[in-house]
Amino acid sequence: EVQLVESGGGLVQPGGSLKLSCVASEFVFSDFPIHWVRQAPGRGLEWVGRIRRIGDTNATGYGESVKGRFTISRDDSKNTAYLQMNSLKTEDTAVYYCLRQLLGSAGFDPWGQGTLVTVSS
Amino acid sequence: QSALTQPASVSGSPGQSITISCTGTSSDVGAYDYVSWYQQHPGEAPKVMIYDVNIRPSGVSGRFSGSKSGNTASLTISGLQAEDEGDYYCSSHTSTKAWAFGGGTKLTVL
């Protein structure tokens, strides 16, 4: 089964850092762009950013609210994508999902189960 | 405020058809045939129902269909069933190489 599994969420103080991981299975990970999307408690979905295949131009892109603070990377040898989050704010509190972008499409499938990040003192 | 505009809620009785709209601009919905729709049940991750305006992934019921006209995309669910109840989100690629989501629509099956 094609699957994505996130980990690394938890409680962090404002101004702190956290690194999320997204491990893929049952597909050729290196062929696919990977995105991160978040959902604050009781709220809608917000695009965080994406990383294209290694070697593609403009490999990474970010939403305005996280630009300059968050960094997406990938290690294709480990079938893993990462989301490094720095200078965290209380408004970054959310469930973070990683997603696979379908080839030749802008659709996302599958989504991981999500990992909760809570930014609070 | 979300980049794409959806109604906050819609409702319908079993067997009926409902349509959820998703309004953007000429820089996102109107610019590309890259609109997707996602269904989310409480406590679960979203699931793709339609992508690239009107393509239904394998395993998704034929009761779900998508369309687009100008800057507005639509998701139609026919033959409404109890398990269709949940939140629905639209998404579109944008001219700034980003992705935008709608604010979500809560579907209630009466």
List the structure tokens of B57.
Answer: 């992934």
Q: Which residue has 């893993």 as its token pair?
A: A80
Cβ distance of A111 and B32 shorter than 8 Å: no
Kindly state the average pLDDT of the residues A19-34. 96
> What residues contact A38, with CB distance under 8 A and at least 6 apart?
A45, A46, A48, A92, A94, A95, A96, A97, A117
A9 touches chain B (CB under 8 A): no
- Per-residue DSSP letters for chain A? --EEEEE--EEE-TT--EEEEEEEESS-GGGS-EEEEEE-TT--EEEEEEE--TT-TT-EEE-TTTTTTEEEEEEGGGTEEEEEE-S--GGG-EEEEEEEEPTTSS-EEEE---EEEEE--
Q: Which residue of chain B comes nearest to A113, CA vs CA?
A: B45
Residues of B in contact with A113 (CB under 8 A): 45
Q: Which residue of chain A comes nearest to B46, CA vs CA?
A: A111
pLDDT the model gives residue B1: 60
Statement: residue A75 has pLDDT above 70: yes
Query: A66-69, long-range: CB within 8 Å, 24+ apart, which pairs?
Result: A66/A92
pLDDT in tens, A39-74: 999 999 999 999 998 888 778 999 999 999 999 999
* H or E stretch at B5: none
SS3 B6: coil
Best probe of the A interface among B38, B54, B90, B99, by most A CBs < 10 A, is: B99
Statement: residue A2 has pLDDT above 90: yes
Q: Which residues of chain B have pLDDT under 50?
A: none
Look over chain A and give the mean of its residue pLDDT values, rounded to a whole number: 96
What residues pair up with A74 in beta bridges, in sequence order? Answer: A81
Residues of A in contact with B32 (CB under 8 A): 106
pLDDT the model gives residue B97: 76
pLDDT the model gives residue A80: 97
pLDDT the model gives residue A97: 98
| Closest of B25, B15, B20, B24 to residue B39, by C-alpha | B20
pLDDT band at residue A106 using 50, 70 and 90 as cut-offs: confident
Straight-line distance from the first to the last Cα atom of chain B, in angstroms, rounded to the nearest whole number: 29
Residues of A in contact with B99 (CB under 8 A): 35, 47, 50, 106
pLDDT the model gives residue B3: 84
What residues pair up with A29 in beta bridges, in sequence order? Answer: none
> What residues contact A2, with CB distance under 8 A and at least 6 apart?
A25, A26, A27, A100, A110
List the structure tokens of A71.
Answer: 């960094």
CA distance A61 to A47: 10
